[in-house]
Amino acid sequence: MEAARILIIQGHPDPAGQHFCHALADSYGGAATAAAREVRRLDVARLDFPLLRSKREWDTGALPPALAKAQQDIAWAEHLVLIFPLWLGDMPALLKGFLEQVARPGFAIGVDARGGPGAKLLKGRSARVVVTMGMPAFVYRWYFGAHSIRSLERNILRFVGFAPVRRSLIGLVEAQGGRRERWLAALARLGRRGA
Q: With a cut of 70, say whether residue 148 has pLDDT above it.
A: yes
| Digit-coded pLDDT (tens) for 117-128 | 778 999 999 999
Please give the torsion angle defined by the CA atoms of residues 6, 31, 43 and 167, in that order, rounded to the nearest 10 degrees: 70
pLDDT at 175: 80
Q: How confident is the model at residue 1 (pLDDT cuts 50, 70, 90)?
A: low
pTM of the full predicted structure? 0.94
Collapsed DSSP state (helix, strand, coil) of residue 140: helix
178 vs 165, more confident: 165
Angle formed by the axes of helices 179-193 and 20-34, nearest 10°? 40
Average pLDDT of the chain is 93
As to burial, measured by CB atoms within 10 angstroms (0-12 exposed, 13-18 middle, 19+ buried), residue 46 is exposed
Phi and psi, residue 194, nearest 5°: 70, 35
| Digit-coded pLDDT (tens) for 31-74 | 999 999 999 999 999 999 999 999 999 888 999 999 999 999 99
Q: How confident is the model at residue 30 (pLDDT cuts 50, 70, 90)?
A: very high
Exposure b/e, 152-181, CB count within 10 A at least 16 = b: bbeebbbebbbeebebbbbbbbeeeeeebe
pLDDT at 116: 66
Superfamily of domain 5-193: Flavodoxin domain (3.40.50.360)
| Digit-coded pLDDT (tens) for 73-115 | 999 999 999 999 999 999 999 999 999 999 999 999 988 777 6
pLDDT at 178: 82
| Digit-coded pLDDT (tens) for 130-146 | 999 999 999 989 888 88
